[in-house]
Amino acid sequence: MKKAWLAVAMALVLVLGACGSNKGGEASSSPKSGGDASGGSPSASTSPSASASAGKLFIPIVSKGFQHQFWQAVKAGAEKAAAELNVEITFEGPETEQQVDKQLEMLQVALDKKPSAIGFAALDSQASIPLLQKAKDAGIPVIAFDSGVDSDIPLATAATDNIAAAALAADKMAELIGGEGEVAMVVHDQTSRTGIDRENGFKNRIKEKYPKIKIVDIQYGGGDHLKSTDLAKTIMQAHPNLKGIFGSNEGSAIGVVNAVTEMKMDGKIVVIGYDSGKAQIDAIKSGKMAGAITQNPIGIGYETVKAAVAAIKGEKVEKNIDTGFFWYDKTNIDNPEIKAVLYE
């Protein structure tokens, strides 16, 4: 990861920490600034009408959700770039990462506002292509973030190399279970680019490098920790010799931790996660989770807005903006470089 990110990220960690310290639960901050837990119309972090009157560039950012602190960190990075570049943004997403249709409605509403550019993290790598084509036809630059789409329409995608990151998770799993035995996966979905790449990254590394390890089950929990808990419990009941489970995002990983706890299998099953959040950080510190992959969500948000502004100005942008990833566990969780990219 570029060192420049650390300065940006560490400054924003203080902002996120402040948010976390007074939230008393995610609900107070998330719906207020983005996703609307009440089920009403999507809320926005800033007013596009105000931006229009001020003559600023207007860039709506449509994320995959707000239910995880990951998205709050992405939002913080986007707002940081917007402030630096003097542009107006909105940041919104559906209540859950299973609401593809609602996300498409949000994208349509954003396009109807005739924005200067748009940032988009697809819940479905193909379903949004017709709307993105409309953006292209209207001359609206599209910057993908977190999850790309199966199209060349986005001028750039700011994201983690999820295949490489999940392969690292597989290496860690192999190391921790002694290079042999049965493992399973709880993946957040089969439709987003992140779900597909993380599943393939983990699965293919195991197949290619660890012939004595068998992946006995792969389930999809929609990133919902309750559903992921049930799935992980079912997997453990069906495979009593299971040695480890990989949870592919924040909700999946917490679901696996909760399942292991409820089944009283702490210390008997290796849990490896993805992303951050207070529950995962606590699980790693307590030993319930062996470790996890952390992305750089602040950097993802920052790069998305930065690339959008560059595209609006007709400047060249990198097609793939790699925002980096790290493995973290109990041994390095307090290192400054790691703390800068964790979020609660």
In this structure, the number of other CB atoms found within 10 A of the CB of residue 64 comes to 30
Are 93 and 103 within 8 A, CB to CB? yes
Strand, helix or coil for residue 263 = coil
% of the chain surpassing 90 pLDDT = 75
Strand partners, 261: none
8: pLDDT strictly greater than 70: no
Predicted confidence at residue 16, as pLDDT, reads 43
For residue 258, give Cα distances in angstroms to 101, 229, 253, 322, 341.
Answer: 30, 6, 9, 32, 24
Dihedral (Cα; 182, 271, 192, 194), 10-degree rounding:
-100
Domains of the chain: 58-160+297-323 (3.40.50.2300), 162-295 (3.40.50.2300)
What's the pLDDT score for residue 343? 80
Q: Pairing mode, if any, of strands 270-274 and 320-322?
A: unpaired
Q: Please report the pLDDT score of residue 83 as a whole number.
A: 97
Answer yes or no: is pLDDT of 127 > 90.
yes
pLDDT level of residue 54 (50, 70, 90 thresholds):
low
Tokens of 2: 């570029």
For the cut 50, the answer to whether the pLDDT of residue 33 exceeds it is no
DSSP codes joined into one string, 37-80 = TTSSSPP-SS-HHHHHHHT--EEEEE-S-SSSHHHHHHHHHHHH
pLDDT higher than 80, residue 342: yes
- pLDDT, mean of residues 264-289: 96
User: What is the rounded CA–CA span in Å between residue 133 and residue 154?
Assistant: 10
Q: Identify the burial level of 97 via C-beta atoms within 10 angstroms of its C-beta, where 0-12 means exposed, 13-18 middle and 19 or more buried.
A: buried
Confidence at 147, pLDDT banded by 50, 70, 90: confident
Write out the two tokens for 81.
Answer: 């770039």
CA-to-CA separations, 25 to 31, 99, 170, 229, in angstroms, rounded: 12, 22, 32, 20
Kindly state the tokens that stand for 180.
């042999």
Q: Which residue has the tokens 């940041």?
A: 91
What the block records as the tokens of 260 is 């292991």
User: For residue 218, what are the β-bridge partners?
Assistant: 185
pLDDT digits (tens, 9 = 90+) for 207-229: 999 999 999 999 999 999 999 99
Helix, strand, coil tally for the chain in percent (to 5): 45, 15, 35
Question: What's the pLDDT score for residue 32?
Answer: 30
Confidence of residue 28 (pLDDT cuts 50, 70, 90): very low
Q: Which residue has the tokens 């593809």?
A: 100
* pLDDT surpassing 50 at residue 26: no
CB 201 within 8 A of CB 162: yes
Please determine, for residue 308, whether its predicted confidence score (pLDDT) is greater than 60.
yes
pLDDT for res 273: 98
Q: What is the mean pLDDT of the chain?
A: 86
Residues of the chain above pLDDT 70, percent:
84
| pLDDT range class, residue 20, cuts 50, 70, 90 | very low
39: left (phi over 0), alpha (psi -120 to 50) or beta: left
**Where does the pLDDT of residue 45 fall: very low under 50, low under 70, confident under 90, or very high at 90 and above?**
very low
Regarding beta strands 181-187 and 142-145, do their DSSP bridges make them parallel or antiparallel, or are they unpaired?
Answer: unpaired
Is the pLDDT at 330 greater than 60? The verdict is yes
Average pLDDT value for residue range 273-281? 94
Residues 208 and 82 sit within 8 Å (Cβ to Cβ): no
pLDDT-derived band at 41, boundaries 50, 70, 90: very low
Residues 6 or more apart from 263 whose CB is under 8 A from it? 233, 236, 237
- pLDDT over 50 at 51, yes or no: no
